[in-house]
Chain A
Amino acid sequence: MFERSTFSRTAAAVAIAGLAAVVPAKAEDTVKVGLILPMTGGQASTGKQIENAIKLYMQQKGDTVAGKKVEIILKDDAAIPDKTKTAAQELIVNDKVNFIAGFGVTPAALAAAPLATQAKIPEVVMAAGTSIITERSPYIVRTSFTLAQSSTIIADWAVKNGIKKVATLTSDYAPGNDALNFFKQNFTAGGGEVVEEVKTPLANPDFAPFLQRMKDAKPDAIFVFVPAGQGGNFMKQYAERGLDKAGIKVIGPGDVTDDDLLNNMGDAVLGTVTAHLYSAAHPSQMNKDFVAAYKKAFGNRPGFMAVSGYDGIHLIYEALKKTNGDTDGTKLIEAMKGQKWESPRGPISIDPETRDIVQNIYIRKVEKVDGELYNVEFATFEAVKDLGKTKK
């Protein structure tokens, strides 16, 4: 059985290679972007938003840049790192892509890192948010965010705004722990006190007992990080238990009030203060146009994942412009370093040293605008680098 399948796989590989050899003419004028996203599974909304945003960008800006046609090859990894690796291998070896991009979760981005290094092609991370990612390969560049960026900012804001005692509730996995540690570090340094610390399992969304514990600890606020999707459950149960009436605020990175889900959460979410990179209510003209175009094309408002994808494809376009269509991976990654542009989220740039994103982090409060719930920005921390790295 085993030998037979290896044989047929080899045969298939040879056949594909042969096919590629027969039709090389077009390859010269095409730039291929291998997009690896979770299109199924629990993270599918991330994949869908990024795919939509890239489609939108290419509709607006055309699919040729520097005389080359840009072709997107989408693969679904369902956020499973093994599948990410296989998909990246296929894209690099068979499809001969010039970029790999996407990556919904940290383990997926890490799984592809050695392949990017070996193949010397840029890996554009459009979602995954732990600090270590860009350090795993000199070819990785990120257009999303790191959890350190938003978690430290909200900690600083809380200290300055009379929040002294905080209980934390974070999901027990790498990004949750990143969020917790970076928050605690800045919050306690500023004189705050963490009175209760609860890590919730990823699988069980009934927050009742944890919330009861929070309520009994009587903190000024709860710091929350749960993966996008569980935010709604959390906020509903927070209100059900009357924590809002007990005067306990919710603060955290913006994942808990993701634009994708915000409207479903009900009025209990009003007044929640979060720090994040993007809100659909960001008041720039560019963002208004972006939100309108996205809504028109896909029927709902874009979230922070969509804007990360939009910026990711923009970075690829700009790098190609700078190299005049040269697809050498090393030249492309050099071209990406230090890029600066205006995004729907505000001014952003790529740190030439860490290849990570530098962006404004906004403090926002959930408010009702025209009958819909929005994260309305009221304070800005400009050009925030990833503190996970600069602290070293």
Chain B
Amino acid sequence: MTSILTNLFDGVAYGMLLFVLACGLAVTLGLMNFVNLAHGAFAMAGGYVCMVLVNRMGWPFFAALPLAFVSSAAIGIALERTLYRHLYTRSHLDQVLFTIGLTFMSVAAVDYIQGSSRVFINLPAALQGQFDVFGVGIGRYRLMIIVICGLLTIGLQMVLAKTRFGSRLRAAVDDPRAASGLGINVPQVFAFTFAFGCGLAGLGGALSAEILGLDPYFPLKFMIYFLIVVTVGGSSSITGPFLASLLLGIGDVAGKYYVPKMGPFVIYTMMIVILIWRPNGLFGRTAAR
């Protein structure tokens, strides 16, 4: 019984992590209809910024996390203004080719600057280890992930559903022409949204270094996971990818624990089954745009 709960806890933490890493992609892919395969590169940037601040400059871990968000968002906005915006109207194939190229460039650049070996972020002692709650092993670091990611999810949902910016964004996505006719600065809304998505990826990158490892190949290694989350969740809302992340995280951990021989395939099997059942993802819009 306790091992079931321990696995459930690990699965939730893993799922939350996947969500923070992937939800920026859900925003660009789903809301802005832009295929950004370079998403993982922004996550990696956040991870490395956090590593440099903590390991080399001696910042506390919790102070470096917001900086990871801000720097990835800044890189995001710079690239959006200079490169990405020219591709909004182009075909998906052009977008794929451009962003995958960007990914390879980021891999080479980080490899050149930081070297290819895997790096770790020095965590404060308070985040290391596990404690027991009625026999259930609770990892401190994983608990922190659940708290941070949970709060972020709630915040994100509030922003999208309740605020003026949220409704502007939804309007800009649904019909950019009508929205700009109503006085909404569509390019600005998109730029901001894109940057925010990149920032979330950066934060996710910084948080994931401990669990997934951080090296220059991060964007390529985890691209598949981001895409699975977004495909399974459907890309029209935040709740879809959120529930998909949880489902996949728990499924992945449980699969590896109970059937280690075929563990790695559990996540793919789940994706296939869900997509056969609901081709647009769990919460996908049925009507194509």
**Contact of A40 with B by CB under 8 A:** yes
Interface contact B264-A212, CB-CB below 8 Å: no
The residues of B that contact A264 with a CB separation of less than 8 Å are 119-120
Interface contact A212-B257, CB-CB below 8 Å: yes
The residues of B that contact A40 with a CB separation of less than 8 Å are 108, 111, 116
Interface contact B3-A216, CB-CB below 8 Å: yes
Interface contact A241-B130, CB-CB below 8 Å: yes
Interface contact B256-A209, CB-CB below 8 Å: yes
Cross-chain contact of B257 among A209, A261, A265 (Cβ < 8 A): A209
Interface contact B253-A205, CB-CB below 8 Å: no
The residues of A that contact B286 with a CB separation of less than 8 Å are none
Q: How far is the CB of B250 from chain A (nearest CB, A)?
A: 10
**Contact of A384 with B by CB under 8 A:** no
Known: A229-B215, A236-B210. A48 touches B256 (CB 8 A): no
Known: A41-B217, A206-B14. A240 touches B256 (CB 8 A): no
Interface contact A209-B263, CB-CB below 8 Å: yes
**Contact of B103 with A by CB under 8 A:** no
In the complex, what distance in Å separates the CA atom of A201 from the CA atom of B267?
13
In the complex, what distance in Å separates the CA atom of A178 from the CA atom of B108?
32
Interface contact B118-A261, CB-CB below 8 Å: yes
- Near B by CB (< 8 A), chain A positions 255-298 give 260-261, 264-266
- Near B by CB (< 8 A), chain A positions 72-123 give none
In the complex, what distance in Å separates the CA atom of A261 from the CA atom of B212?
16
CB-nearest residue of chain B relative to A43? B116
**Contact of B7 with A by CB under 8 A:** yes
B: contact size bracket: 35 or more
Q: How far is the CB of A164 from chain B (nearest CB, A)?
A: 22
Known: A208-B14, A239-B128, A242-B137. A233 touches B118 (CB 8 A): yes
Interface contact B129-A209, CB-CB below 8 Å: no
**Contact of A21 with B by CB under 8 A:** no
Cross-chain contact of B116 among A44, A204, A212 (Cβ < 8 A): A44
Interface contact B117-A260, CB-CB below 8 Å: yes
Cross-chain contact of B129 among A208, A229, A239 (Cβ < 8 A): A239
In the complex, what distance in Å separates the CA atom of A39 from the CA atom of B68?
29
The residues of B that contact A204 with a CB separation of less than 8 Å are 264
- Near B by CB (< 8 A), chain A positions 206-256 give 206, 208-210, 212-213, 216, 229-230, 232-233, 236-237, 239-242
Q: How far is the CB of B37 from chain A (nearest CB, A)?
A: 17
Interface contact B118-A240, CB-CB below 8 Å: no
**Mask for B71-99, Cβ within 8 A of A = 1, else 0?**
00000000000000000000000000000
**Mask for B1-23, Cβ within 8 A of A = 1, else 0?**
00100110010001000000000
Q: How far is the CB of B56 from chain A (nearest CB, A)?
A: 13
**Contact of A198 with B by CB under 8 A:** yes
Interface contact B212-A240, CB-CB below 8 Å: no
Cross-chain contact of B263 among A42, A201, A205 (Cβ < 8 A): A201
- Near A by CB (< 8 A), chain B positions 97-147 give 108, 111, 115-120, 128-130, 137, 139, 141
The residues of B that contact A208 with a CB separation of less than 8 Å are 10, 14, 139, 211, 253
**Contact of B254 with A by CB under 8 A:** yes
**Contact of B260 with A by CB under 8 A:** yes
CB-nearest residue of chain B relative to A40? B111
- Near A by CB (< 8 A), chain B positions 224-280 give 252-257, 260-261, 263-264
Cross-chain contact of B264 among A201, A240, A261 (Cβ < 8 A): A201
The residues of A that contact B130 with a CB separation of less than 8 Å are 240-242
In the complex, what distance in Å separates the CA atom of A230 from the CA atom of B253?
18
**Contact of A369 with B by CB under 8 A:** no
Interface contact A261-B253, CB-CB below 8 Å: no
The residues of A that contact B137 with a CB separation of less than 8 Å are 212, 241-242
The residues of A that contact B139 with a CB separation of less than 8 Å are 208, 240-241
CB-nearest residue of chain A relative to B254? A209
Known: A216-B3, A240-B129. A230 touches B116 (CB 8 A): no
The residues of B that contact A233 with a CB separation of less than 8 Å are 118, 211-213
The residues of A that contact B14 with a CB separation of less than 8 Å are 206, 208
Query: Of A230, A237, A264, which is in contact with the most chain B CB atoms at under 10 Å from its CB?
Result: A264
Q: How far is the CB of B217 from chain A (nearest CB, A)?
A: 6
Q: How far is the CB of B145 from chain A (nearest CB, A)?
A: 12
**Contact of A199 with B by CB under 8 A:** yes
**Contact of B221 with A by CB under 8 A:** yes
Q: How far is the CB of B187 from chain A (nearest CB, A)?
A: 37
**Contact of A146 with B by CB under 8 A:** no
In the complex, what distance in Å separates the CA atom of A201 from the CA atom of B253?
13
CB-nearest residue of chain B relative to A205? B213
Closest 10 CB pairs of A and B: A44-B116, A209-B256, A201-B264, A209-B257, A209-B253, A198-B260, A45-B117, A205-B213, A208-B10, A233-B213
21 contacts between A and B (CB under 8 A): A44-B116, A45-B116, A199-B260, A201-B263, A206-B14, A208-B253, A209-B257, A209-B263, A210-B256, A210-B257, A212-B6, A212-B10, A213-B257, A233-B212, A237-B211, A239-B129, A240-B128, A240-B139, A260-B117, A261-B117, A266-B128
Q: With A208-B14, A212-B3, A230-B118 given, can you name 7 additional A-B contacts, CB distance below 8 Å?
A: A42-B215, A208-B10, A208-B139, A232-B118, A233-B213, A239-B129, A240-B139
Which residues of A approach B to under 8 Å, CB–CB?
40-42, 44-45, 48, 198-199, 201, 203-206, 208-210, 212-213, 216, 229-230, 232-233, 236-237, 239-242, 260-261, 264-266
Which residues of B approach A to under 8 Å, CB–CB?
3, 6-7, 10, 14, 108, 111, 115-120, 128-130, 137, 139, 141, 210-213, 215, 217, 221, 252-257, 260-261, 263-264
